[in-house]
Amino acid sequence: MKARLFTDGGARGNPGPAAYGYVLEAEDGTVLAAHGEAIGVATNNVAEYSALVEGLRKAAELHLVELEVVSDSELIVNQMRGSYKVKNEALRELWREAMRLATTFDQISYNAVRREHNELADRLVNEALDAEGP
């Protein structure tokens, strides 16, 4: 089955209270899974990678075979494509886990989009942060 994984992460302050969100959609737009969760104090990039790892984990659990990952983080997209090196040690561990999970799919691609094209995942991040309070 082909699907799209929309991921987003954010921190209020950098680092600051952080959360991630992901949405898995079938080709026809049916939402297969959606989740947002606060992760404590972290950077924006750690939150972005957390969204990717958890979204990939869920996609693997659902036995999806072809996946298009959609993110508004150019850093994540370019690091996963191999265009950028992962220099930050905290990100390297998350990147390794994402790369390991990516091998469970027959086909995977990564596409960067503007934030407005990643609305539901962005909303899940903000709802998770709002639920944690100030």
Instruction: Give residue-wise pLDDT tens across range 24-51.
Output: 999 999 999 999 999 999 999 999 999 9
Residue 1 pLDDT: 82
Burial 92-107 (b: 16+ CB within 10 A, else e): eebbebbeebbebbee
d(CA 76, CA 112): 9
Residue 115 pLDDT: 86
pLDDT tens digit sequence for 48-106: 999 999 999 999 999 999 999 999 999 999 999 999 999 999 899 999 999 999 999 99
Residue 134 pLDDT: 63
Q: Kindly list the domain boundaries of the chain, sorted by start residue.
A: 2-132
Q: With a cut of 80, say whether residue 133 has pLDDT above it.
A: no
CATH code for 2-132? 3.30.420.10
The mean pLDDT value for 4-29 works out to 97
pLDDT mean across residues, the chain: 96
